Structure 1
Amino acid sequence: MAHVMPDLFKIDVKGHAVTHARTEMVARGKVVTTDEPPERGGTDLFATPLETMLSSFLGCTNVIGNYVAGLLKIKLRGMDLKVCGHFDTRGVFGKAEIGTPFPVIELTVILDTDASDEQIAELQRITGEKCPVGVLLRRAGCEIQESWVRK
């Protein structure tokens, strides 16, 4: 039986600043912690907020990609994902006004599938239209350079 989602629902996350560099958040009772490396005053025990944001893009691409594959009747045996965000620090440090802190984000998706090149292209296109994190990034001005290939 398919899970029916409401048209609109709230996602609540609460946070607490443990230090100036470490934040603990709670979402649905699950703790998510971010930190910074020592050169920025952190302990380097957890991913940074920006790494977590990019990780969310991968997680969302996985979930929505598998959902779309089901709609397209594409059998996926597995998916490996990689992201590289090109971070323009000039805006943070007041050196320049910039349009987006991530002008380019490279996304690589390696699929274990027998799908044709045309099916993979359609999977990529529809996933890009439906993945909420990807949609937010694109609308924020990030250029997503994607490579979806067969294993």
Structure 2
Amino acid sequence: MAHAMPDLFKIDVKGKSITHARSEMVARGKVVATDEPPERGGTDLFATPLETMLSSFLGCTNVIANYVAGLLKMELRGLEFEVCGHFDTRGVFGKADIGTPFPVIELTVFVLTDAEDAQIEQLKTITGEKCPVSVLLRRAGCEIKENWVRK
């Protein structure tokens, strides 16, 4: 379903520190919280900020892939995702000057469809070019290794 979107709009989020490891943010009246595991002084109640970032990548990939499938007139019965970010902590801890904290992100998308391989490849390419989170990660220097598999 197509939705009319303005060319430019603001996305506002407010947040506060609950503890040194836990934060709560509010976006459109919805609470988003992050935390750290106990070994980093957190309570492990919520995903970490980095897990949340990778989750945002999957959520954005879902929205844009479904949009692109509509443009391609491609039937999707569903999508399933796996992501693994390779986190280089040397920059955070001052051990090295690194270009990106995530040199490699592995993305696997299981596509529930009867579409041909060529159409799945087209879906993958266009989604990567249009997904705002994907674009940000790539421009930040992340190598995104993608594997889109028919399921």
Matched, 1:99 2:102: no
Q: Spell out the pairing of 1:1-151 with structure 2 (5 A cutoff).
A: 2-151=2-151
User: Residue 68 of structure 1 aligns to which amino acid in structure 2?
Assistant: V
Cα deviation 1:44-98 (Å, max 9, x = unaligned): 0000000000000000000000000000001000110010000000000000000
User: Residue 150 of structure 1 aligns to which amino acid in structure 2?
Assistant: R
User: Residue 69 of structure 1 aligns to which amino acid in structure 2?
Assistant: A
1:134 and 1:55 mapped to 2: Cα distance?
A: 12
Compute the RMSD of aligned alpha carbons.
0.7
Cα deviation 1:24-57 (Å, max 9, x = unaligned): 0000000000000011110000000000000000
Cα shift at 1:3? 1.6
User: Residue 28 of structure 1 aligns to which amino acid in structure 2?
Assistant: R
Question: What SS does the corresponding residue of 1:76 show, helix, strand or coil?
Answer: coil
Question: What SS does the corresponding residue of 1:106 show, helix, strand or coil?
Answer: strand
Structure 1 unpaired stretches of 5+ = none
Identical-pair percentage: 83
1:68 and 1:3 mapped to 2: Cα distance?
A: 13
2:85 and 2:99 mapped to 1: Cα distance?
A: 15
Question: What SS does the corresponding residue of 1:90 show, helix, strand or coil?
Answer: coil
